Amino acid sequence: MGFHDLRAFIAEADRQGMLRRIEGAHWDLEIGAIAKMLHDTPANPVVLFDRIPGYPPGFRVLSNHQNNVKKLALVEGFSPDDSPMEIMRQLKEKRRKGVPLIPPREVADGPVLENREEGENVDVLTFPVPRWRTLDGGRYIGTGTVVINRDPDGDWVNVGTYRQMVHDAKTLGFFVEDQHHGKIIAKKYWARGQACPVVACYGQEVELFRASTGSSPWGRSELEVAGGLKGEPIDVVSGPVTGLPIPARAEIAIEGEVPPPDVDARPEGPFREWPGYYTQESAPQPVIRVKAVYHRNDPILTGPLGNDRNVIVDGTHHASTAVWEALERTALPGIRGVWDHCNGLFIVISLEQQFAGHAKMALLTATSAHGSGSAYRYYVAVDDDIDPSNLTDVLWAMTTRCVPENQIDIVRSTLSARIDPIVSPMKRAIGDLTCDRVLIDACKPWDWREQFGKSMTYTPEYEREIREKWRPALMG
Ligand SMILES: Cc1cc2nc3c(=O)[nH]c(=O)nc-3n(C[C@H](O)[C@H](O)[C@H](O)COP(=O)(O)O)c2cc1C
């Protein structure tokens, strides 16, 4: 079984020594800056902020809670003490076997209904919503959020993570990339001249957030995926305003509607996006008109993942597991491991070459493995003596084993996203959100791999022997 609620996850992170509590930090930049600085330390703890000036004690903010492979191990029920590559292998195996789909369970009541405000009393700034970074265009309530809407043509609800800026007490900005299911659904309502009903949570079961940030096929509800990850149904209450499911153990939830953008759209952003840039100026985006707010006693607002250190970070790693699983599904042999750096912008596949063209087939397969997720750029294949999670190893292979003329290919004009900093202003202006992908075969050239210079220093057995014999000297 997974975590009963977000609080159970926080308690477990605490038990494992992975939690840091901070009191007294201000919502205006201080919380964001401290979260970033702690993210950049080797410990990279989960951070819980309390006693936020101007807000009642107990109204808390949680940040950096799902932003590296050890925390993902905790979320998905593996030991955070295993090596990163071993954790990744377990995550991939879980995907390969198939997470069972467990439909949500409707319940009459839940902690999220402990407090409720409707109509005139709605005020989203009841919560200590941070302005996260210096150049952000406002206070962002929806960063560690899940947003739920229903396909009007089908009997399923989508769940996705889409950012929300506070315009005023009852209005939120709503930024969703066009290819994401939440936007495709909203457009169906707008085409009929209707507002799209939505539920959004800001603090929810960790499995639900994990499912919300990963891609599921069109028509498959991430509520069911989250139930599968958790090992039991996500409890939901039926929203009195929208009829949409509200996760019953969420910390904070709202019900509202998104009118067609020609009825209401307001300048949103800018916001420092995950590749590490303010890619877009403030621009009109749809809004959520908030009709009702629900929250637990002493609610916990979840913040962004804190992945700010350029982008050379551990991220959500959805790309690694999707690519690894796809390679196995297409029956390509010899795959040793996959690791994505820079949140998926740089994906490395380690394989034992078994035939001519093997590495290139793996690279091609990888480019189509993660659906409409987001911006992806470099795909690198390395031999199986290279640890794909170790960038030094990967660079060594790229610089010494790759014959650029034959082993580097560019696939032009593939799907990207608005948040991709390399999409030029000219392309943006005409709605051409594409970028090129680069395939780098950094394996020893197949035809003469046997003659390639040897690189072994010592056998693993000999290294073990020396490590034992010289332990004190090597420790010093
Ligand atoms: C922390 C985080 C924030 C995200 N913010 C946004 C966002 O503001 N807008 C967006 O369109 N996608 C955003 N995404 C990506 C989507 O949530 C993700 O691609 C999801 O799979 C989309 O689901 P869907 O295809 O069901 O819509 C974010 C992802 C993460 C991990």
Identify the pLDDT of residue 389.
Answer: 95
Any domain includes 458 = no
CA 159 to ligand 1: nearest atom: 26
262 and 164 in a common domain: yes
Residues 6+ apart with CB under 8 A from 21: 47, 48, 49, 50
Residue with tokens 């940030």: 213
Contact 418 CB / ligand 1 (< 6 Å)? no
Domain count, the chain: 3
**Residue 62 within any structural domain of the chain:** no
374 lines ligand 1 (CB under 6 A): yes
- How far apart are alpha carbons 388 and 85 in whole angstroms? 8
Indicate whether 8 belongs to any domain: no
Mutate to test the pocket of ligand 1, among 146, 162, 418 (most ligand atoms within 8 A of CB): 162
- CATH number of domain containing 239: 2.30.110.10
Q: Are residues 323 and 392 in the same domain?
A: yes
- Same domain, yes or no, for 421 and 297? no
Grouping H, G, I as helix, E, B as strand and the rest as coil, residue 323 is helix
CATH of the domain at 346: 3.40.1670.10
Is the distance from CB of 383 to CB of 353 less than 8 angstroms? yes
Whether residue 474 is contained in a domain is answered as: no
Could you tell me the distance, in angstroms and rounded to a whole number, from the CA of residue 386 to the centre of ligand 1?
A: 31
Q: Which is nearest to 141 in space by CA: 202, 64, 71? A: 202
State whether the beta carbon of 318 lies less than 6 angstroms from ligand 1.
Answer: no
Tracing tokens 């004190």 back to the chain, one arrives at 472
* Cβ 215 under 6 angstroms from ligand 1: yes
Answer whether residue 58 is part of any domain: no
Q: Are residues 247 and 142 in the same domain?
A: yes
| Domain membership flag for residue 440 | yes
Distance 162 CA to ligand 1 centre (A): 5
- Do 397 and 269 fall into the same domain? no
**Boundaries of domain holding 345:** 318-451
Instruction: For 179-211, write each residue's pLDDT tens digit.
Output: 999 999 999 999 999 999 999 999 999 999 999
Domain assignment of residue 465, yes or no:
no
The candidate with the shortest Cα–Cα distance to 143, out of 280, 274, 299, 7, is 274
* pLDDT score at 312: 53
Q: Does one domain contain both 149 and 230? A: yes
Ligand 1 pocket residue status of 181, Cβ below 6 Å: yes
Q: How far is the CA of 273 from the centre of ligand 1 (A)?
A: 11
Nearest residue by C-alpha to atom 18 in ligand 1:
213
> Using an 8 Å Cβ cutoff, are 209 and 146 in contact?
yes
> Which residue out of 68, 72, 204, 213 has the highest number of ligand 1 atoms within 8 Å of its CB and is therefore the one to mutate?
213
Distance 182 CA to ligand 1 centre (A): 9
| For ligand 1, mutation pick of 180, 216, 285, 418 (most atoms within 8 Å of CB) | 180
Q: What is the pLDDT of residue 374?
A: 64
Peptide bond into 103 cis (omega under 30): no
**Three-state secondary structure call for residue 160:** strand
Query: Which of 276, 302, 328 is where one domain is finished?
Result: 302
Counting DSSP H helices and E strands in the chain, the numbers are 14, 22
Measure the CA–CA gap between 49 and 228, rounded to whole angstroms: 30
> Of the residues 267, 302, 337, which one is the last residue of a structural domain?
302
Residues 148 and 80 in one domain: no
Shared domain for 248 and 379, answered yes or no, is no
Q: Are residues 134 and 186 in the same domain?
A: yes
Please check whether residues 356 and 288 belong to one and the same domain: no
CA 412–ligand 1 middle distance (angstroms) = 24
461 C-alpha to ligand 1 centroid (Å): 46
57 HSE (CA, 13 A, CB side): 3
Residues 360/438, Cβ–Cβ less than 8 Å: no
Strands (E), 128-228: 140-142, 146-150, 157-160, 164-168, 171-173, 196-201
Q: Note the pLDDT of residue 436.
A: 94
Model confidence pLDDT, tens digit, residues 270-303: 999 888 899 988 999 999 999 999 999 999 999 9
Residue with tokens 């209707």: 194
Q: Is 279 in the pocket of ligand 1 (CB under 6 A)?
A: no
Q: Which long-range contacts (CB under 8 A, 24 or more apart) does 212-215 make?
A: 212/146, 212/147, 212/159, 212/160, 212/161, 213/161, 213/316, 213/318, 214/316, 214/318, 214/322, 215/318, 215/322, 215/370, 215/371, 215/372, 215/373
Please work out, in degrees rounded to the nearest 5, the angle formed at the alpha carbon of residue 137 by the alpha carbons of 63 and 169.
80
Question: Which residue positions in the chain have pLDDT lower than 50?
Answer: 309-311
* pTM, 2 dp: 0.94
Ordered DSSP codes for 19-82: EEEEES--TBTHHHHHHHHHHTSTT--EEEEES-TTS-TT-EEEESSS-SHHHHHHHHTS-TTS
**Residue in this structure with the two tokens 């690894």, named with its chain if needed:** 324
* C-alpha to C-alpha distances, 435 to 270, 302, 326, 424, 426, nearest whole angstrom: 22, 32, 22, 9, 13
Question: Which pLDDT does position 311 carry in this prediction?
Answer: 47
Distance 160 CA to ligand 1 centre (A): 6
Claim to verify: residue 74 and residue 108 sit in the same structural domain: no
Nearest CA to ligand 1 atom 23: 160
Query: Ligand 1 pocket: which of 67, 161, 177, 184 to mutate (most atoms <8 Å of CB)?
Result: 161
Q: Where are the beta strands (DSSP E) in 185-327?
A: 196-201, 235-238, 245-247, 252-258, 265-268, 283-295, 300-302
pLDDT recorded at residue 316? 86
Reading the block at residue 52, the tokens are 């936020």
Whether 344 maps to a domain, the answer reads yes
pLDDT at 67: 86
Domain's final residue, options 79, 98, 117: 98
Asked if 211 and 327 sit in the same domain, the reply is no
